[in-house]
Amino acid sequence: MLALIDHLTSEKLQFITEPEAAAMHCMQVSKEHFVIPKGKSYMVVNCGEDTVASITRKFISTDVLGEVTGHTSDFCGSNYVDRNDHHLCGHVY
């Protein structure tokens, strides 16, 4: 494992879901540019080709995020919209 860890229970390597990583990144960027009050919530939405995933987090303190909603996703990404846009337009017009 590239000499990063020497045993399977090492704390040097941790796995995280993409929405969680995005939420943590947003927290870091927000702290660099804004004063974020405790209790403020934000939603991260990842709109991909096949799926759309979202997660909502709340600032508990400067470096701690609380969970408002868990990670949720569904197969409704851009490929789905492209394949079904004629059905969607048919209902509008």
Could you list the residue range(s) of the whole structural domain that residue 75 is in? Answer: 38-92
27 residue type, one letter: M
pLDDT value, residue 92: 54
CB 76 within 8 A of CB 82: no
Q: Quick one: tokens of 58?
A: 């709340």
Angle at 39 between CA 71 and CA 32, to 5 degrees: 85
Q: Label residue 69 by pLDDT band (50, 70, 90).
A: confident
- Residues 26, 54: Cα–Cα separation, whole Å: 13
Mean of all residue pLDDT scores within the chain: 81
- Please check whether residue 11 lies inside any domain of the structure: no
Is the full-model pTM beyond 0.85? no
pLDDT value, residue 50: 92
pLDDT value, residue 85: 77
- Please check whether residue 58 lies inside any domain of the structure: yes
Q: Label residue 1 by pLDDT band (50, 70, 90).
A: very low
Structurally, the chain folds into a number of domains equal to 1
